[in-house]
Structure 1
Amino acid sequence: MLTAHKIKILQSLDKKKFRQKYNLFLVEGNKTIKEIPNSAYQIQDLYTLDAEKFENNHSTSYQVSPADLKKISFLQNPKDSVAVCEIKEQKILEGINRQLILDGIQDPGNLGTLIRLADWFGIKQIICSEDTVDFYNPKVIQASMGSFLRVNVVYENLEIYLQNSETSNIGTDMAGENFYTFPFPEKFNLVLGNEGNGIRPEIEDILNDKITIPRFGNSKATESLNVSMAAGIILGQIFSKK
């Protein structure tokens, strides 16, 4: 039942400290929610405008009014349902040939889009620096469009992780080699940097190679590409050669 106390708890889940305190995060929208039982995540409670749609679901479902759904939704225009899910334990998957390494990504929309891109190109794992935006941020979950269910996202000390990696570390840099002619190895860590500052110097020192997307236009107004846009271009080029 959606009590005032429960509403207060759910509303607090927009902040990382409360997600960690309760070990919970929210997922919105029937399409994504219906995929959760086939993933590694567990639904604790489900609040929906139409409980009949989840009659065969093993979670506890509660039918609520549009007004109550709006109270617990983080969307300006709430969808049909909100699932309260348990945060799962972080574990690095071994034997991954290709993965994204994110150094200080701060925008939730960018992280969500990068997760969606990874899912699209069959990349099973993303390793994030410890200061990258929280994976369970509602805006990240929403932007991933359900792809968070299929991509393993973990947080590590990148300097230690990359130093110990046996896979080639390839990072994006404005002064890097033209990525269109760069011979990508079969196994790689694609390192993407912070939206404003790029890859931090101590991580740059660990890179085996640096690549850049060459500019073909003459306009100087566009100084750089959005990190998720750049990742999409690079991954598209890599996999076009596979």
Structure 2
Amino acid sequence: MQFFQFIFLKRNWASDKGPLSKTLSTLAVSKEPLWLLIFPEGTVVSDVTRITSKKYAEKVGLVDHEHVLLPRSTGLHYCARSLHKSVDYVYDLTIGIEGVKRGQFPEEIYTLRKIYFEGQYPRNIHLHIRKYSISEMPEDEDKFTEWLRQRWIEKDALMEEFYTKGRFTGYESPRIVPMKLNSVFELTQIWYFIVPLVPIMWYFSNYLLNHWFIADIGDGRG
């Protein structure tokens, strides 16, 4: 993840602001093309996070959503303000995954085991994309928070539409983009991480077995 310049956070603004500011300052002056991916919800939807979102909604006096989690605005607002001179647009993606029904969660339906060993994977993934000029987004943090919450109300409505109709409607020009392998070797990439684990696990299992055997002899009673 460090090779892709992931920004590791502790989800505590007092602790995260310094490292985040340092990273964003570097990105702002970099001559390389910049794509900063951020999830304002902070996590994925699950039974546990649904409860957390509901408690947060009650705490701040909001109505919780049905399909999405309430967003936290501090991080996105800080990123937008820090990068407004070097970034022109913010793209808002809402993702609908085929095969996931209302009330289900993608990571439970499409596990790594099901994808790689059972051949079960989503045949289509639907993306609803909106583009916002960063110069037109509210600079004031309170106004930005309200703006972001309104986007999430719309996002929840989009997911309701997806679960009802099986797709997002209202596109000016919907596009179907087929995903193709650049090479068959891409299919082997997951094994690059698994194969090295085999000798490591073999070494440790033998190490533990030998030490257990020696300890057993040493503690034996004649």
* TM bucket normalised to smaller: under 0.3
TM-score, normalization: structure 2?
A: 0.21
More strand by share: 1
Larger Rg: 2
More helix by share: 2
